[in-house]
Structure formats: C-alpha cells, structure tokens
Amino acid sequence: MKFLDEAKIYLESGTGGAGCVSFRREKFVDMGGPDGGNGGRGGHIFFECVQNLNTLIDFRYTQHFRAETGNHGMGEDRFGRDGKDLTIKIPVGTVILDEDKETVLLDMVTPGQKVLFLKGGDGGFGNAHFKSSTNRAPRKFLPGWPGQQRAIWLRLKLIADAGIIGLPNAGKSTFLSVVTRAKPKIADYPFTTLSPNLGVVKSRDNEFVLADIPGLIEGAHEGHGLGTRFLGHVERTAVLLHLIDATQEDVIKDYKTIRGELKAYGAGLAKKPEIIALNKSDALTPEEAEEKQKALSKAIRKKVHLISGVSHQGTDQVLDLIWKEIVKARAKEEKPEVSSPNETDDDDED
C-alpha cells in the first residue's frame, strides 16, 4: 500500500559575506582610519506550512535549495546586504525527517506555521571592527561564516480527495492509471486490486489525490468478497467516482448493488457527493452506449456520464467535476464558523 509521499531534498543556507579592508581617503587628511564594513549574513532557510498544497509532487522536480550568499562589506563603513532568505512551502501535515529517514526533526501541522530551519552564515567583520587604541590601522578582516548543508526527507501521509468505487472489473484501476502516474495492476478478472492505490491527478492547474480501492460485491458489508474494509480509505474523501461497467447486462442492478453496500457501511458514505460514470463506452456501439446511459439515468434519476478509461472519452469532464466537489468541500472545511450577522458592514466610512 502506498500512502506516503516522500521526497529527499538538499538544503544549503547562505554563506556570510566577507568583511572588507579599507581606509578612509580624504583630501587634506593624511592617514584616514579603517572603514571596511562587515559582510552581510547569508540567507536563512525556512519551511512554511501552506494549505493549498497537498502532495510533495513538486519536490520530484526540484531537490536542491540554496539561499543567497551575503554580500561583502565595502569601504566607507558600508555593510554588505544580507543574502535573501529562502522559504520552502510544504503541505500541512508534512513531517521533516533527518537523512536517516527515521529521526523526526519537525512536524508541520498548522497552516501558516513558519520555522527557521537552517541559519545563514554570519558576515565577517571588516577592518573597521578591529580598530583599537593600540592598532589604529588594522588590516585584519574575517571571511563570512559558511552556511549549513543538510539533506533531509519530507514525508506526507496522503489523504485521498476523491475515491473510485464500483464492482470488481469496472475499470477503476485502469481509470487511475490513465489520469495519474500510478501503475496499478490491471487485469480481466475480479479482485485484481487487493489493496488501495493512490495517484496524484494533475489536471489543468489543479492537483488532487485519487484513490482506487478493491471492488465491492453484493454482501460486502457481511464480509463477502474482500468486504468493506477498504472503504475506510475513502471515508474522508470529498467525492466518490462510481464506475459502472457498461458491457454488463444489468447496469441498473450493478449501480444499486454498490449503493446498497455504501448505505450498509454507513459513515456518511452514501451521502457523499457521487459522480456516476458508465465506463468502457468504447466496447459498445455509440447507440448501445447511449441507450444504456439513458436507461440508467432514468432509472436512478441522476446524471450519468458516459466514459472510457481506455479511449479517454469523457475522462477530462469527470476530472473537472471531481475537482469542483473538492473545491466545495475544502471551502466548507475552511469556513466551518457561522458568519456573524454584521459581517458585511463596512467600518471605514470617511
């Protein structure tokens, strides 16, 4: 079972800038004093927890992070500018582990939480710093302190945003393999999938986690087939995609079987938003497919989408609909409070 998203990344905070050796040069002043400024600090590396990310997929493409070096000090007592800090955004729930992949360094759980992880090196002193009553013209300066380097692991427990349900052989794993990079086992017999698979859907600019679970059969709630023990994995999803194999004789009965199991299972699964798709349309003539779609839609009085994982017919529309439900669910999660009655009152009258 792969429910963890992991990424190894390499970090380096900025080296401090070097101090400067310089002496004042002025007309009519013979020997100006030292005026070499200090170097700037190297950039820090921060981690920040953000709500709008929910996978570590971006870290597959970028693994090296380096904060800026501090600028060197300059004459006329000018200090070097500090190197720019670098803030790495990670999803809520990310655990930061040491290179050994075991020691937990940080657990990032609160949206907005920002933690200084690697300090940038301090800047070195310029020669002005070393001026004393005994040494009025020091030539001493210090280089900047090095930044810190570290390799770490990020680990995120993936929580599925959407789940695919259906009878065995409905094409659930095929659908997952078509819309994500997941490579689940696919075969022409029931119970090919024995444990859930997860994939990350990147559709348009959106990103969400889709779960494919083993097929359910009639009586699953009584332990038939693989039972309902995997339904727990879709309990927290925002939406279910219910796939029905269009090549089967009685698609209405197939639909109802699954609905019956969802109801028997409880946990609010039967009340979850459901997108219904008659799958494998490519295996039927367009007329046959449309006829089945209409009959099913009429019988259950719900919208039924005609799709094919294999030929990609209708898959984008289904993904769009799934995304819409996820957005709705996330908005609800963010605003659980009842709004106050004078919320819209505008305070800033001139």
Query: Which residues contribute to the site for ligand GTP (CB under 6 A)?
Result: 166, 168-174, 186-188, 190-193, 214-215, 279-280, 282-283, 308-310
CA distance 139 to 141: 7
- Which one of the spans 79-87, 128-136, 173-181, 221-229 is the region binding Mg ion (CB under 5 A)? 173-181
- What DSSP character marks residue 197? E
CA distance 246 to 226: 23
SS3 211: strand
Binding Mg ion by CB under 5 A: which of 54, 71, 173, 180? Answer: 173
Give me the least distance between CB of 195 and ligand GTP, in Å please: 10
Nearer to ligand GTP, 206 or 248 (CB): 248
264 contact, one of ligand GTP, Mg ion, none, CB 5-8 Å limit per kind: none
Give me the least distance between CB of 279 and ligand GTP, in Å please: 5
191 contact, one of Mg ion, ligand GTP, none, CB 5-8 Å limit per kind: ligand GTP
Kindly provide the residue ranges of all beta strands, DSSP E only, lying in 114-238, ordered along the sequence: 114-118, 149-157, 162-166, 197-203, 206-212
Q: Does 293 interact with Mg ion (rule: CB under 5 A)?
A: no
For residues 46-82, b (16+ Cβ closer than 10 Å) or e, as one string? bbebbeebbbbbebeeeeebbbbbbbbbbbebbbbeb
Kindly provide the residue ranges of all beta strands, DSSP E only, lying in the chain, ordered along the sequence: 4-12, 45-50, 64-66, 86-91, 94-97, 104-107, 114-118, 149-157, 162-166, 197-203, 206-212, 239-245, 274-279, 304-306
Q: Does 169 interact with Mg ion (rule: CB under 5 A)?
A: no
Count, residues near Mg ion per rule CB under 5 A: 4
Q: Does 193 interact with Mg ion (rule: CB under 5 A)?
A: yes
- Which one of the spans 12-20, 124-132, 170-178, 233-241 is the region binding Mg ion (CB under 5 A)? 170-178
Which residues in 122-141 contact Mg ion (CB under 5 A)? none
Give me the least distance between CB of 165 and Mg ion, in Å please: 11
171 contact, one of ligand GTP, Mg ion, none, CB 5-8 Å limit per kind: ligand GTP
Cross-strand pairs, 150? 11
HSE (CB half, 13 Å, CA atoms) of 283? 13
Nearer to Mg ion, 71 or 173 (CB): 173
- Which one of the spans 58-66, 166-174, 224-232, 340-348 is the region binding Mg ion (CB under 5 A)? 166-174
φ and ψ at 309, to 5 degrees? -65, -40
Q: Kindly state the tokens that stand for 343.
A: 């919320």
Q: Does 279 interact with Mg ion (rule: CB under 5 A)?
A: no
Asked if 35 contacts 75 with a C-beta cutoff of 8 angstroms, the reply is: yes
- Could you list the residues that contact Mg ion (CB under 5 A)? 172-173, 192-193
